[in-house]
A and B are shown apart, each in its own frame.
Chain A
């Protein structure tokens, strides 16, 4: 039911997250040059997310399998367009997933 590694990881991230929120609330008034730190952390966040997007897409495109490449491309396009318009990540994720599944099922039907 509970994997020890998972639990340790969950607790570690929970502690770091709480401290990252609590310590600045307690001692934050002593930290100067907030704008500069904010700028760097923001850039790092963008870099990590962009890297994760690339990492999650590379295997699909390297598969050279049309059943995966076409639904992935459609899903990516729909997700980008909707994210710009709706600005709600949850709804974008759900519609992106449905687009992918619909395209995948459709291609399977055509091939069969």
Chain B
């Protein structure tokens, strides 16, 4: 039991290497977008889902409902993780495992033939701790930047982060086409003055395209 937990904690170092820089960027950008240090900390502590946290902080000041909607929408992919785990394994402490079921924890958990709850909890503990500590480090870095008088251009961290996530998601021609369609539609909508609702319209457009292609495939 303890051995499994420690093994999970040890394996979480791999996850932490990826998490800490992202969390630092999150802490910095949260402060940049007007979140207090406590709010930045609470965002990481309560949500614990990188991409939606970034979407939330970048949109919440312009459109409250819309920010919640989009930030929640990107997290719906977690439904799949839960379905896959529920189908393959009999998990007892679902309420605990659910909190830390991030992309990385899911991948490492299903890489085992048997689902070891203590191993997963070790993984979650390490990942969560690194995410929280990284966020706090980012908040402190931002204070240092402010003391040095550096403000201009810091928001580019968010752009670079979104680009990196997009590049990692694009694995085949289909993904690339969806990304390009989305970018083109967003640019057109921006010029039409519909900047704020662009991502939502893009999602609807992509869903329609998927439906059309699926019907075509059935015929």
Contact = CB atoms under 8 A, between A and B. Distances in A.
B182 A54 contact: yes
A12 B198 CA distance: 22
Contacts of B168: 83, 87, 89
B203 interface: yes
Interface in A20-39: 20-29, 31, 34, 37-39
A16 interface: yes
Contacts of A80: 163, 167
Contacts, number: 298
A62 to B, nearest CB: 8
Contacts of A91: 21
The residue in B52, B157, B164, B175 that gathers the most chain A C-beta atoms within 10 A of its C-beta is B164
Could you say which interface size class chain B belongs to? 35 or more
B179 A101 contact: no
Residue among A11, A18, A44 facing the most chain B CB atoms (10 A cut-off): A44
B161 interface: yes
B187 A58 contact: yes
Interface in A33-65: 34, 37-58
Q: What size tier do the contact residues of chain A reach?
A: 35 or more
A90 B186 contact: no
Interface in B145-191: 150, 152-170, 175, 178-183, 185-187, 190
A24 B81 contact: yes
Main secondary structure of the interface of A (DSSP, over half): helix
A70 to B, nearest CB: 12
Q: Which 7 A-B pairs have the closest CB atoms?
A: A90-B21, A24-B82, A96-B160, A28-B86, A28-B83, A50-B182, A22-B98
Interface of B: 17-25, 34-36, 38-39, 42-43, 46-49, 51-53, 55-56, 58, 60, 64, 67-68, 70-87, 91, 94-95, 97-99, 101, 150, 152-170, 175, 178-183, 185-187, 190, 195, 198-199, 202-203, 205-207, 210
5 contacts: A8-B64, A21-B78, A40-B207, A89-B21, A93-B157
